Amino acid sequence: MLPEFKEIWQDTLEWFPSEEQQQQFEQLYQGILVGNRQCNLTRIIEPEAFWEKHLWDSLRGIIPLGLESYTTASFLDIGTGAGFPGFPCAIALPYTTVTLLDSTGKKIAYLNTLISELQFSRVKTLLGRAETLGKQSSQRNKYDFALLRAVASASVCAEYAFPFLKVGGTAVLYRGRWTPEEAESLNLTLNQLGGYLEKIETFITPLTAGERNCLYLKKTSMR
Ligand SMILES: C[S@@+](CC[C@H](N)C(=O)[O-])C[C@H]1O[C@@H](n2cnc3c(N)ncnc32)[C@H](O)[C@@H]1O
């Protein structure tokens, strides 16, 4: 699946997966195809769409974090669905720990199967609703980064993410179009939560030219 996209990976991500990582992406893809026959994991299963919307998009969102490949940071993917953006991040950053959180039991059950098949001991799962799990003391102030794609409005995503983050941690919100109205509501929420919008990265997806906006929210205090 990957070789024909080599130039795009290099031009747009300034990164290219090793042989081992390419194999892991391929195993992830095959595993998701199998999982889709058992439960409704994702509608994005055509190879090109999978590559662009699941792999490329997941990775494009973490590039502005400026992480070194050997980072040991902890990631929480809230509302992970079929494992995105968390799974590709775990493959690209091989020393991180990544927790995939979702409220749907069937999805988490299949992700557990996939994790053991791919022997990804650094990837864990959490079953439950973000707003409930975020109140548990074992989960609070724990993660360096939270990733949220296609889960809820930006303000609600911030409310979900902040309890889990360490002070100084960052929530990455993967969004499509971004409007001034959303920005206003998000800023009000961030004032209450103890954080701020550090930056917005706008980019165009390489195959279908879709607009993406990734928001980087910094947690500055424990509330
Ligand atoms: C549209 S899917 C997006 C999946 C994935 N992030 C992606 O972009 O492909 C939304 C997922 O979020 C989960 N979800 C929605 N609200 C949630 C909540 N409050 N807590 C945990 N998971 C939630 C749903 O079960 C679903 O799997």
CATH code where residue 102 lies: 3.40.50.150
Residues lining ligand 1, judged by CB closer than 6 Å?
Answer: 79-82, 84, 101-104, 107, 129-131, 149-151
Distance, in Å, from the CA atom of 201 to the CA atom of 216, rounded to the nearest integer, reads 8
The more confident residue out of 189 and 9 is 189
Q: Give residue 1's pLDDT.
A: 55
What does the alpha-carbon distance between residue 214 and residue 46 come to, in Å, rounded to a whole number? Answer: 24
Categorize the per-residue pLDDT at 172 as very low, low, confident or very high, splitting at 50, 70 and 90. very high
Q: Which atom of ligand 1 is nearest to the CA of 128?
A: 21
Q: Is the pLDDT of residue 219 over 90?
A: yes
106 falls in which pLDDT band (50, 70, 90)?
very high
Cα separation, 94 vs 89, in Å, equals 8
Which of 103, 126, 173 is the pocket-test mutation for ligand 1 (most atoms within 8 Å of CB)?
A: 103
Atom 1, ligand 1: residue with shortest CA distance: 150
Q: What total number of domains does the chain contain?
A: 1
Domain of residue 133 covers 3-219
Predicted confidence (pLDDT) per residue in 135-161, tens digit = 999 999 999 999 999 999 999 999 999
Please indicate if the annotation marks 102 as binding a ligand.
Answer: yes
Question: What is the rounded (10 degree) CA torsion for 134, 140, 143, 147?
Answer: 20
Asked whether this complex has an ipTM greater than 0.85, the answer is yes
Whether 3 shows a pLDDT value over 70: the answer reads no
User: Over the chain, what is the mean pLDDT?
Assistant: 94
Terminal CA-to-CA distance of the chain, rounded, Å? 45
For residues 172-199, give the mean pLDDT: 95
